[in-house]
Amino acid sequence: MPFLLLLVLSLACMPIRWPRPFLGLNEWQCALLTWTAVGAVVSVAAVIARWTRARLANDPLRLETIQHWYSILRLYHLFGLFGTFAVILSALGWGWTVRQLCTPAGAEEMFAAAELLLLAPFFAALVGSWICFYDAERALHAAATSLGINRPFWSRGAYVVFHVRHNLALVLAPLSLLILEQGLLRQFPELAGDWRFRTIEIILALAVFAGLPWLLRLVWGLTPLPPGPLRDRLGEAAGRLRFRCSNILLWNTRGGVGNAMVVGVLPWPRYVLLTDRLLSELTPDEVEAVFGHEAGHVKHHHMLCYFGFFIISVTVLFGTWMAIEGALGQAARTYLPQHVAFLLDPNEDWSAVPLAGFLIAYIFVVFGFLSRRCERQADIYGCRAVSCARSDCLDHEPGLIPSPGGKSLCPTGIRIFIHALEKVARINGISRSRPGWLQSWQHSTIASRVQFLQAMLADPELEPRFQRTVVRVKWGLFLGLGAALAVLAATQDWKTLLPF
């Protein structure tokens, strides 16, 4: 969710001169429609929460099924919120209203930080929805408690604060840099061509990216995993796998989430995060396998791969768009109606909107394709983290230490990771085989991942073939993007290729 939030909010903060609504409404009418739409989004959240509570009251034994449908409805609600926000900014005139209200008399540009008012309806709808979803979460917790699953719950205020901290912390730092940049460029347009300003921008962005683990630890209230057998075991696993991290942190979600995460491109700072529910419901072997999965992302350099992919892709897409924008604008003015052609007119700020739409589609399709294969690589490494040197082992003896360096792969290690995957799906209410594309575009379905691991049990040659395929995919993507970047650099001024 944080990634999608950052993408949507960044696009909303683009320097677009939102047009006056087609109905000719004034500022106050636009504001009334906008906040009515916000109320409608929050009302839908209340309906979902009420439906969930009613289903649980009628049939509490179907907890897992109800929790599954609740998670799907929440996901659809989130994407409905994104769509509603787009309508609010454009058709309902909120973007135009903010420009009218935030532009000083006699000036052409809004004052600094006006984007905060632009984003206010989105944040209001999001927080209002969390307030409503609390009732469903409390009912799900009560149903789980009645079935013998005891874990603490929190007040409505603590629940909302948790979601604000855990969903917006990753967003606010880069979004603040973007808002700061937009404000400075509006007040001092000459900075747009100053290489020193651009250099400082890049340095600040890299600093935020590198310091993200510290920011998360502070904002999320993460604490070191308490001393004990599990802490010792994971520390030994890190040493055995030659995996460097600053610390292993406990992610307290009050039993709400069973998940793990690694944050930090550099070895220091780098943290592995394990939620309280994950630790309470998985066996030590399974926790170590999940820990190995997170280490696998680092050992295969996935975060660097993602970072390079995004930077090069955005540069190539931006440069390509700039190269064909004039031709598209001319064709649009010739063949399309006027109220559609202006979207592709290079003289209009709206011309960035089709690029943004294409960028979103590109990320979902191409990055999703890459991410699913990287996740499978990490799955295999998670199996290796708990595998011994015997390729025919049926079970591990008590006290057995897996092979060093994650070099071996045994049937028992594969089965341990499969059990961990199945449990993570169950405790998070994720459908094993039909979670919906929006929930599986980055990771594939649990059923697909398990099926692949089970196939490795029957065919030991499957794993090396898959690794070679992933290497070819990565090289193909980066060589293709590099070639496109070289062509653009040879045919255009390099300054026009920069999307910042």
How does DSSP assign 35-53, residue by residue?
A: HHHHHHHHHHHHHHHHHHH
Number of helices and strands in the chain (H, E): 19, 4
Hey, is 306 helix, strand or coil? helix
* Helix or strand holding residue 276 (H, E): helix 276-281
Between helix 411-427 and helix 284-299 the angle, nearest 10°, is 100
Rounded to two decimals, what is the model's pTM? Answer: 0.87
| Distance separating alpha carbons of residues 23 and 17, to the nearest angstrom | 17
Please choose, from the candidates 372, 377, 368, 373, the residue with its C-alpha nearest in 3D space to the C-alpha of residue 443.
Answer: 372
Residue 383 contacts residue 293 (beta carbons within 8 Å): no
How does DSSP assign 448-491, residue by residue?
A: HHHHHHHHHHH-TTHHHHHHHHHHHHHHHHHHHHHHHHHHHHHH
Residue 104: its pLDDT value, please?
84
| Distance separating alpha carbons of residues 358 and 90, to the nearest angstrom | 18
User: Tokens representing 321?
Assistant: 């768009």
For the sheet containing 223-224, what is the strand order? 223-224, 247-251, 271-275, 260-263
- Beta-carbon contacts of residue 5 (< 8 Å; ≥ 6 apart): 167, 168, 171
Residue 68 contacts residue 82 (beta carbons within 8 Å): no
Backbone angles phi, psi at 489, to 5 degrees: -65, -30
| Distance separating alpha carbons of residues 40 and 45, to the nearest angstrom | 9
> Cis peptide before 499, with omega less than 30 degrees from 0?
no
User: Tokens representing 347?
Assistant: 């003289």
- Angle in degrees, CA 475, 479, 482, rounded to 5: 140
**How deeply is 292 buried, as exposed, middle or buried, from its count of CB atoms within 10 A (0-12, 13-18, 19+)?**
buried
- The terminus-to-terminus CA distance of the chain in angstroms comes to 24
Residue 274 bridge partners (DSSP): 250, 260
Rg (C-alpha) for the chain, rounded Å, is 25
Hey, is 262 helix, strand or coil? strand
User: Tokens representing 314?
Assistant: 């955005």
Please choose, from the candidates 146, 145, 147, the residue with its C-alpha nearest in 3D space to the C-alpha of residue 254.
Answer: 145
β-strands 223-224, 271-275: how paired?
unpaired
Please choose, from the candidates 238, 214, 216, 367, the residue with its C-alpha nearest in 3D space to the C-alpha of residue 305.
Answer: 367
Backbone angles phi, psi at 433, to 5 degrees: -120, -20
Going residue by residue through the chain (500 aa), what tens digit of pLDDT does each one get? 677 788 788 878 887 778 777 777 888 999 999 999 999 999 999 999 999 999 999 988 888 788 888 988 998 999 999 999 999 998 899 999 998 889 887 777 888 889 999 999 999 999 999 999 999 999 988 887 765 555 677 889 999 998 998 888 778 888 888 898 888 888 888 887 788 888 888 888 888 888 889 989 998 999 999 999 999 999 999 999 999 999 999 998 887 788 999 999 888 899 999 999 999 999 999 999 999 999 999 999 999 999 899 889 988 888 887 776 655 555 555 555 554 555 555 545 555 667 777 888 898 899 999 999 999 999 999 999 999 999 889 899 888 889 999 999 999 999 999 999 999 988 887 777 776 666 678 888 999 999 999 999 999 899 999 999 999 999 999 999 999 989 888 877 655 555 55
Q: Can you tell me which residue has the tokens 């040493």?
A: 239
Residue 126 contacts residue 80 (beta carbons within 8 Å): no
